[in-house]
Each structure stands twice: as C-alpha cells, then as structure tokens.
Amino acid sequence: MRFVLLIILSLYYSVSFSDEKDTLHSFKLKNGMEVVVIENKRAPVIAQMIWYNFGSGIEKTGKSGLAHFMEHLMFKGTRKFPDNYYSNFISKIGGSENAFTSYDYTAYYQVFPKSELKMMMKMEADRMTNLTLTKENVEIEKRVILEERFQRIESDPSSKLDESMRSILFPNHYYGRPIIGWRHEIEGLSYEDVLSFYKENYKPNNAILVLSGDVDLEKAKKLSKKYFGKIRKGKQESKLEVTDPDLNTNIFVKMQHPTVKQPIWKKFYRTISYKSDIDNSIALDMGFKIVASGTSSLLYQNLVEDKKIFSVVGGYFQGLTKGEGNVYLYAISKEKKDSNEIDKIIMDEFKKIINEKLTSERFEIEKKKYFFDTIYKKDGVLNPAQIYGEALTVGLAFDDINKWQERLNNISLDDVKKALEKLYENKNYVIGELSN
C-alpha cells in the first residue's frame, strides 16, 4: 500500500468525455451506493476502484491516523477470504492492486483480466463488511505505520517543515493535521478505535464504485446488485463543516537540521478550489503553470536561467479538494539570502510577469498544452476511473466533468491574469525555511 498526500495535482486531467458519451453510465443501488461504468473495449482488461467519500477528515479529535490505519487493515482478510487471499489471487491472475488515503477520500483499486470481474467484485464487497480484525494484527500494523511515519516524515526535514506549515495554514481544519496522523496519537489508537471506525464508515452509501475498461453495463448492474446491493447502508450523519480564519499576521516557520545541504524556501497559500469555483480554478491552474510549473515556466526562465539568482524555483496549485485549495511555491537560492528577501524577489517577479510577460501568445500555447494533456491523460484503463472517482468524491458532478472542455475554451487571458492577481494579493499564507 502507498500513502498518498496528493493523488492528482489538478483536474485538467478530467477533460470532457464528450467524444465517448455512449461509454459512460452511472446508476445507484437501493442502499445508496453509486456505480459508474466506463466502457472501453480496446483490451480485455478492467480496472475496479472503490472510492470511500471520507479520508482523515472524519477522524475525531485525538484520533488522527485512523483512516490511513484502516486502509492498511483492509488487506488483512475476511472469513471467506482469509489472510492474504485477496492479494495472492490478484497476483496469480496477473493483476495489480493498490490503495491510498487522502484528507477527503480513501480509495482501493485493482486491474485484472475481464474474466475475473465476478470474483473481484465478490471479494471487494466482502471486505466492505466482513473484515477480520484481531488485536494482534492491529498492534502489528500499528508498528508498521509508526515506522512508515518515521521514514516518510520524521527522518525527512522537508516533510517535517511541510507538516508544521500546514498545521499553521489550516489551524481550524483537518487539512492542518497529517493524514498519516501525529505519532503520539497513532501510538494511542486501540483495537476498539479501529473496529468502531470500520463499522461506522465502511458502508455502501459512503462509496462510489467505478468500473473502467472492457466491462458490460448489464453485467456490471447484475454483479453490483448481487454483491454490494445486499449490504445494509449506514446512518447518514451530518458532518460539521469548519472553515479557517484569515491569517492577518505574517507567519514564518524555520526548521534547522544538520543533514540539510542547501537552504530551501517555501510558501503555502490557502486558496479557491474546483468545488468552490471551477472557472477561476481552471484560470488559476493554467496561469500558475505558466508562472511556476517546470523548467519552461516564466519564474524559472527569469530567475534561474537569466538572472541566475536561484538554482530551483517552482510550484503547483492543488484545487481538487472538498475544502479550500492550496498553492505551493518553493525555491533554492544560489547565494545566502533571508526568507523575506527571497519572498520579495519572487513576488516582484510574479507581479512583473502578470503585468508585462504573460502574453497572448504564451497563453494560447499553454491552452493548447492543456488540451492535449487531457487527451493523453484520459487514456488507459485506470486513468478514467481515477478521474471520475476523485472528482465525484470531492463533490463535483458529472456535468462539471463533462463540460470541462467547454469551460476551458471560455477561459480568457484576462481571466488568468485576474486569478493570478488575486493570488498575489492573497494574505492567507505561511512562509517556511529549511536550513542547517
């Protein structure tokens, strides 16, 4: 299993399937489970993904890490399919599997020959409700997760700094606590905590099943009703939605570690998301790619290649979230500079790009790249399942996805500049420095 903070950096992958509308179907079972079928007959292969509409966000105060913990335990077997039966079966048929936990969702997927669809659906439905949990395997897996946290965060100064910056940027929201959990809280999780979390949340009305590939709609309906349809739905609990206050002070976080060879500057913003504002999120994403994404970005060309002030500069926008989105900027200076000086250099250049260097020609080039990326990214068996599953789970609708190209076509250079100007004026940010 792998621990994923960000499964997809932007929803531009989710371009319209308008040229394949006859292949996309969705229906709901009586217990509230949504099923999405994306037919693709190019190869006799199917990807099955089940997206639970909760991640670390539903954890109670003091119980951080439960969603990720549960993801690990979902591979421990049931009475019908004990121990490693599930994973061994997938391996024997030449398939693959994985899982990941986010702030907003938990997802499990398998890719396998179409002839095994019945068995795969049977096993997935079985572990939704019949998982075998023992105190022994809970304690064993806890040690595994604590080691994972040590390897991924505690032994990595950059990750530790990110964790601290997020806790400040999101002081009132679950985005401010680590998905894997705080170490002291993981240590305190009990067998009863895990069992209660599983029984309360792993329910069909909390899930979206996505089947992509060489799958027949009628067969998908029959099998999903047979295996998932008989599972009782859970209670619909109203979740308290919290928001963060504006950060009206300049916040600076510094972390020192002897293993750091080059000081790293970082800046995290809270900003809009696709759920809150699709059109302006597309404009921000497109504009930020021009400004800060990769070696072809204007910040890189101006501050690394031309002025040679930095050895690295870049960033990305993450807007595929249930709550606020965020923007991440980073830089490594060639000469020693304090964080305020680095911030001024980058933001002055940012403003100059908006006013002088973000040309119609560059905008049209980026718009075409955006379009062609969507064509490449929707290819394959697993990608469409990821695109639809993630978008629907964070709260977007089919119409939002299927009209993506139409929305993209309507974005103008002026829209992009306005989105970037709003980010420039955004005061909800934290600056961090990592040094030795």
Which tokens hold the place of 322?
């249930």
Are 71 and 1 in contact by the 8 Å Cβ rule? The answer is yes
First to last CA, the chain: 33
Are 69 and 181 in contact by the 8 Å Cβ rule? The answer is yes
CA gap 270, 325 in Å, rounded: 6
One-letter amino acid of 155: S
Here the contacts of 162-168 (C-beta below 8 Å, separation 24 or greater) are 162/266, 162/268, 162/432, 164/253, 164/255, 164/432, 165/253, 165/266, 165/268, 165/430, 165/432, 166/268, 168/251, 168/253, 168/430
Q: Which element (helix H / strand E) includes 108?
A: strand 106-113
Longest dimension (CA), the chain: 66
Active-site residues, by number, are 71
Dihedral sign of CA atoms 104, 208, 382, 319 in order? negative
